[in-house]
Amino acid sequence: MSYIVNSGSGNEFSNVKRIAIGSGKVFYVYKDDAPYVSVEVNLLNSEHFTDSLIVGDYLLIGNYYEGVYVIDLLDLSFDHIAVDGYFGYFVEDGECIYILGCENIIAMDRECSIFWKSDCIAVDGITCEGIEGKTMQVSCEMDPPGGWVDKKIDLCTGKVIA
């Protein structure tokens, strides 16, 4: 069984299950190449900081100030992960998924169980510059605009190590 998600046109989704968490931005999920479910979230002021990711049998939707929605594609239930400040984007690394936000990072496994949530390490955004071994090199906006500071995060604990 494989899933694909897109946020384009979905006219073929008129006869499938629809999950409405908000209104304005729709994600369409195909299961084994057939329309399966549509998920609608709020369309916020910007298309930036909105992303989706299929992880096993879960659809993750990160949506700016709303955080991350976790939709179980087996039973079509959903949950919510709060993100401090705003959602930035997802980073995948093997068995881990990282949610990078405005102020911190959240690590979870492929079953969407949270391992850790970092302390506040930024004031207006975090970007991943790379992962090497058990560390993530990030750039953290500390003094907007343009006050980016590099930090290393221990991927086992979420603590800043340099």
- Of 4-13, 69-78, 93-102, which gets the smallest average pLDDT? 4-13
State mean pLDDT over 57-76: 96
pLDDT at 8 over 80: no
- Inter-residue contact 159 to 136 (CB < 8 Å): no
The pLDDT confidence band at residue 44, using thresholds 50, 70 and 90, is confident
pLDDT at 47 over 70: no
User: pLDDT tens, 129-157?
Assistant: 999 999 999 999 999 999 999 999 999 99
State mean pLDDT over 10-17: 87
- Inter-residue contact 131 to 155 (CB < 8 Å): yes
Query: Would residue 36 be called left, alpha or beta, if left means φ above 0 and alpha means ψ between -120 and 50 degrees?
Result: alpha
State mean pLDDT over 28-55: 90
The pLDDT of residue 10 is 76
Instruction: List strands edge to edge, sheet with 114-117.
Output: 87-93, 96-101, 105-109, 114-117
pLDDT at 4 over 80: yes
The pLDDT of residue 45 is 65
The pLDDT of residue 104 is 98
pLDDT at 46 over 90: no
Average pLDDT, the chain: 94
